[in-house]
């Protein structure tokens, strides 16, 4: 169904909780991804030295993924669809790095678990479903650009 104002508010609020302790949550995010997909370590230039949460690149890249997902929620609410800036080049980067569909699921599960940890007792299914819907729409746009 349509992405609601309430869902947008849930994503916006928990995005703030994520950003409030970015180094920590970025570390959780990468650790979860590497647990499920150890080979991803070799794909990210900034993970060469492991998950070092003092590495500003590591933080910036993790923040970008959550920021784009939050932006997807805003777009879904406003327009009912997600348009990604620079989609062709973003698609090309992912193809070059060897990203496949299964990786999107690994990143999704890590993102949802990270948001769960960031929101603590404010977490619930409705909040999780809102992030999932935004991430799925964003992923679909990136995958389309990859094909």
Kindly state whether residue 107 participates in binding ligand ISQ, applying the rule CB under 6 A: yes
Site string for ligand HEM, 69-108 (x = CB under 6 A): ---------------------x--xx--x-x---xx--x-
Check: CB of residue 40 under 8 Å from CB of residue 99.
no
User: Can you tell me which of 22, 65, 74, 87 binds ligand ISQ, judged by CB under 6 A?
Assistant: 65
Q: Identify which of 110, 113, 135 has the alpha carbon closest to the alpha carbon of residue 7.
A: 135
Residue showing tokens 């932006």: 71
Computed from CA positions of residues 80, 99, 13, 55, in that sequence, does the dihedral angle turn out positive or negative? negative
Kindly state whether residue 44 participates in binding ligand HEM, applying the rule CB under 6 A: yes
Tell me which residues in 29-58 interact with ligand ISQ (CB under 6 A): 33
Token pair of 118, please?
Answer: 């960031």
Tell me which residues in 21-40 interact with ligand HEM (CB under 6 A): 40
User: Can you tell me which of 30, 131, 139, 145 binds ligand HEM, judged by CB under 6 A?
Assistant: 139
Scored b (16 or more CB within 10 A) or e, 63-99 reads: bebbebbbbbbebbbeeeebebeeeeebbeebeeeeb
Q: Which is nearer to ligand HEM, 21 or 86 (CB)?
A: 86
Q: Which residues bind to ligand ISQ, rule: CB under 6 A?
A: 33, 61-62, 65, 107
């Amino acid at each position: 169904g349509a992405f609601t104002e309430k869902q947008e508010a849930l994503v916006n609020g928990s995005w703030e909780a994520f950003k409030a302790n970015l180094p920590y949550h970025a570390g959780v995010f990468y650790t979860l991804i590497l647990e499920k997909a150890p080979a991803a370590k070799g794909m990210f230039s900034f993970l060469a030295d492991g998950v070092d949460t003092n590495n500003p690149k590591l933080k910036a890249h993790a923040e970008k993924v959550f920021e784009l997902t939050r932006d997807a929620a805003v777009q879904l609410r406003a327009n009912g669809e997600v348009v990604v800036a620079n989609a062709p080049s973003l698609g090309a980067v992912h193809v070059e790095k060897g990203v496949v569909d299964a990786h999107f699921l690994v990143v999704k599960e890590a993102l949802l678990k990270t948001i769960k940890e960031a929101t603590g007792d404010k977490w619930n299914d409705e909040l999780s479903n809102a992030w999932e819907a935004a991430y799925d729409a964003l992923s679909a746009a990136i995958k389309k650009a990859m094909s």
